[in-house]
Amino acid sequence: QSVLTQPPSVSAAPGQKVTIPCSGSSSNIGNHYVSWYQQVPGTAPKLLIYENNKRPSGIPDRFSGSNSGTSATLAITGLHTGDEADYYCGTWDSSLSGKVFGGGTKLTVL
């Protein structure tokens, strides 16, 4: 069982918006930056969001991150089929003295 909790799957229609939640605690999300990663099956993960809400160069502004207390959210607008992938949240956990990930959320664009 993962330290960070994500729903196993979400879905939405092309062009719509979807949000993926990530729930943690005060030892992780509540006091440390959150990152989000996208992984297309069979490929390495890619960084989408860092420091809660910053996008690396080349990541479109359709992807955004936000935090509230011990939870974080990834939002994706203007969905298209190319966004189908697994999405993971990650952060540092001061109780474990290590990095932790959510269990991952599979996005289906119907």
Partner 1 sequence: EVQLVESGGGLVKAGGSLRLSCAASGFTFSEKSMNWVRQAPGKGLEWVSSITTGGSYKFHADSVRGRFTISRDNAKNSLYLQMNNLRVEDTGVYYCVREIGSTSSMDVWGRGTTVTVSS
Specify the residue, 67 or 91, whose C-beta has the smaller distance to partner 1: 91
Specify the residue, 35 or 67, whose C-beta has the smaller distance to partner 1: 35
Specify the residue, 18 or 104, whose C-beta has the smaller distance to partner 1: 104
Specify the residue, 30 or 103, whose C-beta has the smaller distance to partner 1: 103
Q: How far is the CB of 97 from partner 1 (least distance, A)?
A: 6
Q: Could you tell me how far CA 88 lies from the centroid of its own chain? A: 5
- Report d(CA 98, CA 87) in Å as an integer: 20
Candidates 35, 38, 64, 62; CA nearest to 51 is 35
The verdict on 98 binding partner 1 (CB under 8 A) reads: yes
Stretch that binds partner 1, among 9-17, 47-55, 66-74, 76-84 (CB under 8 A): 47-55
**Pairing label, strands 105-109, 9-12:** parallel
User: Cβ(100)–Cβ(93) under 8 Å?
Assistant: yes
Q: Under DSSP, is residue 40 helix (H, G, I), strand (E, B) or coil?
A: coil
Stretch that binds partner 1, among 11-19, 67-75, 76-84, 85-93 (CB under 8 A): 85-93
Candidates 107, 109, 110; CA nearest to 38 is 107
Q: How far is the CB of 106 from partner 1 (least distance, A)?
A: 10
